[in-house]
Amino acid sequence: MESEPVVTTCYRHPAVECHVRCTRCERYICPDCMREASVGHQCPECVREGARSVRQARTIVGGRVTATPVVTYALIALNALAYVAEVVRPEIVDRFSVLTARLTGPDDGFYVYQADHPSGFHAEGVVAGEWERLLTGGFLHLQPTEGTFGLLHIVMNMVALWQLGRVVEPMLGRLRYLVLYLLAVLGGSVLVVLLADPGQTSVGASGGIFGLGAAYYVLARRVGADMGPVNRFMAYLLLWLLISAGLTSWQGHLGGLVAGGLVAAAFAYAPRDGRRTLVQAGACAALLVVLAVAVLVRVAALTGGGAA
């Protein structure tokens, strides 16, 4: 007497007869559950398990590899939105630009800052606790009404941000790229506070862009790239820095360049072991502390150690 043939069914769909096994767990799978593998087919669960066990690709500094410069897109969008906002409401520039210290009088006019200012005058700027200006100023630009350089200011900066961002962001990864950009913006603002006229306002993304330029140079050297084109780009950037001395805030450009270079060096040359992320984070935190202390010293010098 012949025995009945054994009917095999899919482990996920018991009503479906099948004859193919998963090459990994050897369970039977139907055509709907088959996933192509390098050899044979696998079930959905084994495919998911395999994906989890695959090591995530990393950039040279330890960041996640990303093909699309999402952070660069976001930064350009933020700058564009801020520009539209300041065109609609020009007072935004006055309130959020980088400013160290000035007095506003009873007539709403602006005056040179004095620590012992008379009654009726009130201080504005970082000395008055408006620390947010150190960051917000990096997302504002000159308006079209401020001469021929108005609209050109944001256009030039956004073109430079796009050109540098699509190269530097994939090399750093999104998080490290954003941290470097923001610290470069802060570095530029802090040098404005330290060296520029206290009553001078400053706006523009150039601090962050110069920081990206420095990062581009450091990373190119780290990966052993052909330095010819990189050196020519840096020469152009330094020429821009010199020309800016008569047009915009050279202090912001130089501060961003130095801060960006320091952060990029910390990212690129941190030990490539389990300590890398800790060393990189520590270097960024140390730079942030140095910038904060520098501003506090400057404020103390202007206010005589007291409150504005």
Per-residue buried b or exposed e for 259-285, using 16+ beta carbons within 10 Å of the residue's own CB: bbbbbbbbbbebeeeeeeeeebeebbe
pLDDT tier for residue 22 given thresholds of 50, 70 and 90: confident
Residue 178 shares a structural domain with residue 118: yes
Assess if residue 52 is contained within a domain.
Answer: no
Assess if residue 56 is contained within a domain.
Answer: no
Report the C-alpha dihedral over residues 266, 271, 274, 277, rounded to 10 degrees: 0
Residue 109 shares a structural domain with residue 237: yes
Assess if residue 223 is contained within a domain.
Answer: yes
Residue 36 shares a structural domain with residue 128: no
Assess if residue 64 is contained within a domain.
Answer: no
Query: Six-digit token pair at 224?
Result: 């052993």
Residue 9 shares a structural domain with residue 101: no
Number of helices (H), then strands (E), in the chain: 10, 7
Residue 127 shares a structural domain with residue 206: yes
pLDDT in tens, 231-275: 888 888 888 777 766 566 788 999 999 999 999 999 999 888 789
Assess if residue 205 is contained within a domain.
Answer: yes
3-state helix, strand, coil in the chain (%, to 5): 55, 5, 35
Residue 201 shares a structural domain with residue 246: yes
Average of per-residue pLDDT values in the chain:
86
Residue type present at position 132? E
Assess if residue 61 is contained within a domain.
Answer: no
pLDDT in tens, 90-133: 899 889 999 999 888 888 788 888 878 778 888 899 999 999 99
User: pLDDT value at position 247?
Assistant: 60
**Full domain range(s) for residue 7:** 1-47
Assess if residue 57 is contained within a domain.
Answer: no
Report if pTM > 0.85: no
By mean pLDDT, which of 193-202, 243-252, 277-286 is the weakest? 243-252
Q: Where are the beta strands (DSSP E) in the chain?
A: 20-21, 28-29, 35-36, 41-42, 102-104, 110-111, 122-124
How far apart are alpha carbons 153 and 157 in whole angstroms? 6
User: pLDDT value at position 285?
Assistant: 97
* Maximum Cα interatomic distance, the chain, rounded to a whole number of Å: 114
pLDDT tier for residue 64 given thresholds of 50, 70 and 90: confident
Q: Which residue has the higher pLDDT, 105 or 281?
A: 281
Residue 25 shares a structural domain with residue 87: no
Length of the chain: 308
State mean pLDDT over 53-57.
58
Residue 212 shares a structural domain with residue 97: yes
Residue 17 shares a structural domain with residue 166: no
CATH number reported for the structural domain that contains residue 273 in this entry: 1.20.1540.10
How far apart are alpha carbons 225 and 237 in whole angstroms? 19
Query: Six-digit token pair at 6?
Result: 């054994």
Residue 142 shares a structural domain with residue 266: yes
On whether the CB atoms of residues 79 and 205 are closer than 8 A, the answer is yes
DSSP 116: T
Residue 139 shares a structural domain with residue 4: no
Place of tokens 């060393």: 279
Domain count, the chain: 2
Assess if residue 222 is contained within a domain.
Answer: yes
User: pLDDT value at position 146?
Assistant: 63
Phi, psi angles (nearest 5°) of residue 135 = -105, -45
